[in-house]
Amino acid sequence: MVQGTAGWQEEPPCIWALAGVLSFRPCDRHYECEACPLFQALSGGPAGAEASELEVPVATVAHAALEHQVNAYLARLVAGCTLHLDRAYSSGHWWVDSSQAHQVTLGIEGHVLRALQPVDDIVTPRGGVWLRRPDPCGWILRGRVSVPLHAPLSGEVEQVNPRYLAGVKAPGTFADGDEWLLRVTPHENPETVPGLYRGAEALAWHLKNIQLLQRSLREALEQQAADSVGATLADGGEPTLNLEAVLGRARFEAVVDRMFRIHSS
């Protein structure tokens, strides 16, 4: 867990910096990675099947200061979160570490936990429960929103991390997503489980979610500007890491719905 906001950058990091491939490098293309020579060079071309689905943010007529606000807030939101390329990632926002023989470690993506702050509770299966992919196995509770957590693979829960559950709810604590939540004895080979993203596909999946957050922030601030309402990105000089307070309830709940595909057909 990350305490406070000290040392955060004012510009969002390059996706390769989030993945630990580069030292900190700001993204000067606002996550329009398909046209970025560095992204293409490091990924060896378009990022697999997911790359073709990347959504490029729509052009904005807002003042440059508004764009700076969006990017600065996004940088704060993902500060300290790391994308580990030696792990797999699921569409349900789990990270999956299968490096230990006969055991898989599961955690929740850091930027997703940040977007949901403040979290009221995380309901998890208890030890001994058998998970069946892709059935729901838990919930993230946050205000009016209950986010289902779908099992990324089938297996038996061996351990639940109580420190994680306590820490994610602690006031002033911002989850970085690197703490494990469940340890599972798999009932299927994690290397062949469908629906898990690895390598370049994991980068492309991560980008799609960052772009969704970026686009929603931009739309919210543009609406505030049109309504002559002051921007709500900060409170008393400190960033407001309550995305609902920035986006408004309806837009926030729509973002959560899209991120977790709660009402997808």
Domain boundaries, the chain: 2-82+198-242, 90-196
pTM, to two decimals: 0.75
pLDDT of 238 = 55
What's the pLDDT score for residue 107? 95
Q: What is the DSSP letter of 56?
A: P
The confidence score (pLDDT) of residue 127 equals 96
Q: What is the pLDDT of residues 221-235, one digit of tens each?
A: 888 766 655 455 555
Report the pLDDT value the prediction gives residue 60, as an integer from 0 to 100: 40
The whole-number pLDDT of residue 160 equals 95
**pLDDT value at position 53?**
47
Q: Which residues of the chain have pLDDT under 50?
A: 1-8, 47-62, 230, 265
3-state secondary structure of 53: coil
DSSP the chain: -EES-TT--SSPBPHHHHTTSSSS-B-SSTT-GGG-HHHHHHHTSS-HHHHTTPPPPPP--S-HHHHHHHHHHHHHHHTT----TTSEEETTSEEEE--STT-EEEEE-HHHHHHHPSP-EEE-PPTTPEE-TTSEEEEEEETTEEEEEE-SS-EEEEEE-HHHHHHHTSTTEE--S-S--EEEEESS-TTT-TTEE-HHHHHHHHHHHHHHHHHHHHHHHHHHHHTT----SEETTEE---HHHHH-HHHHHHHHHHHHTTT--
Confidence at residue 264, expressed as pLDDT on a 0 to 100 scale: 59
Q: Which CATH architecture has domain 90-196?
A: Beta Barrel (2.40)
